[in-house]
Chains A and B, each alone.
Chain A
Amino acid sequence: MGGFFKKIAEPSFTVIGYVILFVLLAYVLTPLVWLFVTAFNPRGGPYLEIPREVTLDNFVRVFTGERPRGGTRTAAHPIYMSRWVANSLIVGFATMIITVALSAPAGYALSRLQFRGKDLLMTAILLVGFMPMTSKMLPLYRLARFLGLIDNLLGVALVIASGTIPTQIWIIKGFFDHIPREIEEQAWICGCSYLSTLFRVVLPAAGPGLAVVAFLSFLSGWGNFTVPLILIYSEHLYPISLGLASIFVHNPGEIGLAIDYGTACALSVIYAIPPILVYYVFREHLMKIRLGKMEIR
């Protein structure tokens, strides 16, 4: 055994190790490199090529709706792309607002109140949160139809929020659990009413936790694909996820329509930015999520 481990440290094995690492790295990074290179290449095509010039033209075109140089007619009229970005923002923010507005009071109540059946309720909430969204699609679709929420961005946000709220309740409860009860009692003794204690003391103290929940739920709305796929029909109401799919999946076979790969990749990069940004800003707080419990230091 000892001999085997010694051999691993020998140069030949180190080389093999690097080869394995390189293959894995290539496997993970190729699509990303492809995406970024093409997004900044004004003449980007379906193949990975070294760009002759690096510009932001593709990004500009996402928002201006201009045709690419060369003038071929393209699938997914670029005029919609800026709308898709706006739609994704709408869905993201609406999901965030609904989720925070509903899960914060629920998390607070579950953290502070003791009542019969609380554990059962907590478990039930968790189980609902674990159910894949797609499994509920049929009733949700029928419900949305009944309520006239088909082809409606708010409807999309409501459905996504219904999926994110259970897990966010758990996360936010964890945050409230770490705010000592005595801080509230202190506020009452200082003369603060129960409601104003919530707004002046409890919520600000839970600020980092609320921010994490807000951005996680924003991401759920921003990144969701399945829900808009089922509830949105008009192309101008697509969020980015659906728009991208429509470029690559729905249209490429159509005769006479070329895919504007440069713009599509630029849109993909835009689509990828919020999660990276959120991770960067909240990396310290996100590390504190442990099994639905968070700590405030």
Chain B
Amino acid sequence: MVSILLEGVTKRFGKVVAVDELTLRVEDGEFMILLGPSGCGKTTTLRLVSGLERVTKGRIYFGDELVDDGRAVFVPPQRRNVSMVFQSYALFPHMNVFDNIAFPAYVRKLPKDEIRKRVHEIAELLRIRDLLDRKPNELSGGQQQRVALARALMIEPDVLLLDEPLANLDAKLRVYMRAELKRLQREFKCTTIYVTHDQVEAMSMADRIAVMNKGRIQQVGTPDELYNKPASLFVAGFIGSPPMNLIDCTLTNSDTLDFGPFKLRLPPELASALQGRQEFIFGVRPQDVKVSRREVQGGIQFRVYVSEPLGDRVVLTLVNGDVMIKALTDPDFKAEMGERVWVSFDFRKVHIFDKRSENVVV
């Protein structure tokens, strides 16, 4: 078990900067998830930690040990005692499941009896005991995924690296394995870095999430922090489902936001935080949009554009002029298309971003 520190790490491939001045600390035993759209550098970061890639600049520490500084020091992947599950699982096609799982132990020349015992234990844990004689091409995607995981856990690694391990599974299995993985990680207590582009996966499993975009870390925090206090427009838009409503607006009369078709008067403590700037982006989650059939004090009139009942709730798409927002309501809120409704916001739960820097203001 070991903590990991990436310090000002940059990785370039030719002229392409894949990872840009990234600093991140993963605590001992922590489940850290790197979350971001494809091409944001999260897989490259994982490969830098594994030693499959070398840093161009910066340092990586495992505990106190410097493992890569891009120049003189480099500990190759063989000696980092990490395990990795690739998105493709990378099972050895010519070996059966038993040998695949046992491979890291064979390489470490552990005693045969011990290997046998351990493989059976771990196969039992992951419910693949009946498959030990099969070849990888005789397994389903979910079974292959569990074999890859079993192989990764075979040697009790210092660090477990997972690169979109659930991406190739069908939706039902993915939800099931999400819970299994989280339970396993808590059980094994090994430092884990998990890469995904799926925010639901990240929110449900992580101790902390590092949201990445364009090679940089946007925000690091617990799922709650990221959901309730997004630091930037990117994080706000990436986390939460359905995504946060983000609407352009300008500040007029020092306490009123002008959205074009309508205006919104802000409470004084919010308004004072916005002084000195003019253009903002107003963010509010669909969950925090209050919709009412009757006129409410300070409410804004919208028309129902479309209503999508989901059983436990209804997703309403509302329009006012060229402003379109989504709102979540109770399942018994039956709205007709074109119906007039009044919308109000809980100002404790709105987020206002500076349009130029895209950072949060309030």
In the complex, the answer to whether B52 meets A189 with C-beta atoms within 8 Å is yes
CB of B305 closer than 8 Å to a CB of A: no
In the complex, the answer to whether B107 meets A191 with C-beta atoms within 8 Å is yes
In the complex, the answer to whether B94 meets A207 with C-beta atoms within 8 Å is yes
In the complex, the answer to whether B90 meets A185 with C-beta atoms within 8 Å is yes
Residue among B80, B91, B107, B151 with most chain A CB within 10 A: B107
Residues of B within 8 A of A207 (CB): 94
In the complex, the answer to whether B94 meets A191 with C-beta atoms within 8 Å is no
- Chain A min CB distance to B347 (Å): 50
In the complex, the answer to whether A183 meets B92 with C-beta atoms within 8 Å is yes
A188–B52 Cα distance when bound, in Å, is 9
A1–B294 Cα distance when bound, in Å, is 78
In the complex, the answer to whether A192 meets B107 with C-beta atoms within 8 Å is yes
- Chain B min CB distance to A287 (Å): 18
A194–B137 Cα distance when bound, in Å, is 25
Closest to A196 in B: B107
Closest to B137 in A: A297
A208–B78 Cα distance when bound, in Å, is 28
What are the interface flags for A180-209 relative to B under an 8 Å C-beta threshold, 1 for contact and 0 otherwise?
101101111111110010000100110100
In the complex, the answer to whether B77 meets A188 with C-beta atoms within 8 Å is yes
Residues of B within 8 A of A185 (CB): 50, 52, 77, 84, 86, 90
Residue among A188, A190, A191 with most chain B CB within 10 A: A190
In the complex, the answer to whether A201 meets B52 with C-beta atoms within 8 Å is no
A180–B137 Cα distance when bound, in Å, is 14
CB of A296 closer than 8 Å to a CB of B: yes
Interface of A: prevailing SS: helix
What are the interface flags for B106-127 relative to A under an 8 Å C-beta threshold, 1 for contact and 0 otherwise?
0110000000000000000000
Kindly identify which residue among B79, B82, B90 contacts A183, using a CB–CB cutoff of 8 Å.
B90
A180–B92 Cα distance when bound, in Å, is 10
Residues of A within 8 A of B107 (CB): 190-192, 196
In the complex, the answer to whether A189 meets B84 with C-beta atoms within 8 Å is yes
- Chain A min CB distance to B43 (Å): 11
Residues of A within 8 A of B93 (CB): 183, 205, 296
Closest to B161 in A: A189
CB of B88 closer than 8 Å to a CB of A: yes
Residue among B76, B78, B80, B103 with most chain A CB within 10 A: B78
A193–B92 Cα distance when bound, in Å, is 16
- Interface size classification for chain B: 20 to 34
The number of residues on chain A lying at the interface, defined by a beta carbon within 8 Å of a beta carbon of chain B, is 19
A190–B83 Cα distance when bound, in Å, is 7
Closest to B85 in A: A186
A187–B92 Cα distance when bound, in Å, is 9
Closest to B47 in A: A185
Residues of A within 8 A of B151 (CB): 190
A297–B93 Cα distance when bound, in Å, is 9
Residues of A within 8 A of B50 (CB): 185, 189
Closest to A193 in B: B78
In the complex, the answer to whether A189 meets B77 with C-beta atoms within 8 Å is yes
Residues of B within 8 A of A180 (CB): 88, 90
In residues 64-103 of chain B, which contact A (Cβ within 8 Å)?
76-80, 82-84, 86, 88, 90-95, 103
Kindly identify which residue among A182, A191, A192 contacts B88, using a CB–CB cutoff of 8 Å.
A182
A201–B94 Cα distance when bound, in Å, is 8
A207–B94 Cα distance when bound, in Å, is 9
Closest to B109 in A: A191
Residues of A within 8 A of B94 (CB): 204-205, 207
Residues of A within 8 A of B221 (CB): none
CB of B8 closer than 8 Å to a CB of A: no
A296–B103 Cα distance when bound, in Å, is 22
CB of B104 closer than 8 Å to a CB of A: yes
Residues of B within 8 A of A297 (CB): 137
20 additional contacts (CB under 8 A) given A187-B103, A190-B155: A182-B88, A182-B90, A183-B92, A185-B84, A185-B90, A186-B84, A186-B86, A188-B76, A189-B52, A189-B78, A189-B82, A189-B83, A189-B84, A191-B107, A192-B78, A193-B78, A196-B107, A201-B92, A204-B92, A204-B95
* In the A-B complex, the 5 residue pairs with the closest CB atoms: A190-B104, A186-B90, A182-B90, A191-B107, A204-B94
10 contacts between A and B (CB under 8 A): A180-B90, A182-B86, A183-B91, A183-B92, A185-B90, A186-B84, A190-B155, A191-B107, A204-B92, A204-B95
List chain A positions with a Cβ less than 8 A from chain B: 180, 182-183, 185-193, 196, 201, 204-205, 207, 296-297
